[in-house]
Amino acid sequence: MRLDLTGKTALVTGSTQGIGEAIATALARAGARTAVNGRKPDAVAGAVARIRAEAPGAELVEAVGDVASAEGVAGLRSAVPEVDVLVNNVGVFGARPALEIGDDEWRRYFEVNVLSAVRLTRTYLPGMKERGWGRVQYIASDSAVAIPAEMIHYGVSKTALLGVSRGFAKEAAGTGVTVNSVIAGPTHTGGVEGFVHELVDDSLPWEQAQREFMRLHRPQSLLGRLIEPEEIANLVVYLSSPQASATTGAAVRVDGGYVDSILP
């Protein structure tokens, strides 16, 4: 199966590192003109340079903007007026005892993790429907289904994202546009490394810390290890492709078997 996105424009939010950068790299390799997004110009420029090294000849766009605000989305649209593939990846997470999460922090998690995706979908979905082709994806998490005790605000925001995805899939019904969420499992990124060391002995070497984290905090994983960002990106590229034309309104798992369910 050759996944060819030549002639398509993709936007990946929060793509200057981790899963977002891996997704942007994979889409660029598949031939998509890819917009790399982040809040800081230097971070965006650095990610573009790294992606160009991994995908020689790729057409890349520096799309600087804070998608957690209406003003940031408006500015982003000026840089990228139309997209064929929208990947809502940007998100924040962190451990916090449930009773210590204040209103402002709850609002911040919803602004970044949920409303950014809603705003961008409202911005780009109408054009996709008019053209009769498009792909909208939301990077969710196993935490949407199995709410983690140490960060329920993050888990609940991702649960909301599953509902957002299903709702917009109905809005796009019959138009040639597919809308899906991707349930990513525990993934190895720089941010997660810090998170792991918050929860286990930070003096342990990384490989040992990772195993201890999975044993103590994610024992239901069937993979028994953290997922690499490229493994998430592989699924996103498939869902972005013409070959995935019959998959919409779905929550597709790439979670290493973390969610204990026989249904998606």
Q: Nearest-CA neighbor of 37 among 14, 20, 17?
A: 14
- Residue located via tokens 């070497």: 205
Rounded CA-CA distance 76/220 in Å is 39
CA-closest candidate to residue 245, choices 179, 157, 168: 179
Report which DSSP code applies to 100: G
Q: Taking the chain, what is the end-to-end CA distance rounded to the nearest angstrom? A: 23
Q: Rounded to whole angstroms, how far apart are CA atoms 231 and 243?
A: 18
Question: Do 20 and 14 form a contact (C-beta atoms < 8 A)?
Answer: yes
Q: Which H or E run contains 169?
A: helix 152-171
Q: Which residues on adjacent β-strands are paired with residue 254? A: 184
Can you name the residues that pair with 44 across neighbouring β-strands? none
109 is catalytic: no
Contacts of 57 by beta carbon, 8 Å cutoff, 6+ apart: none
138 - beta bridge partners? 88, 181
Question: 190 Cβ partners below 8 Å, 6+ apart?
Answer: 17, 18
For residue 239, the SS3 value is: helix
Residue of 109, 138, 154, 258 marked active site: 154
Question: CA 167, CA 1: separation in Å to the nearest integer?
Answer: 30
> Could you give the residue numbers annotated as active site?
154
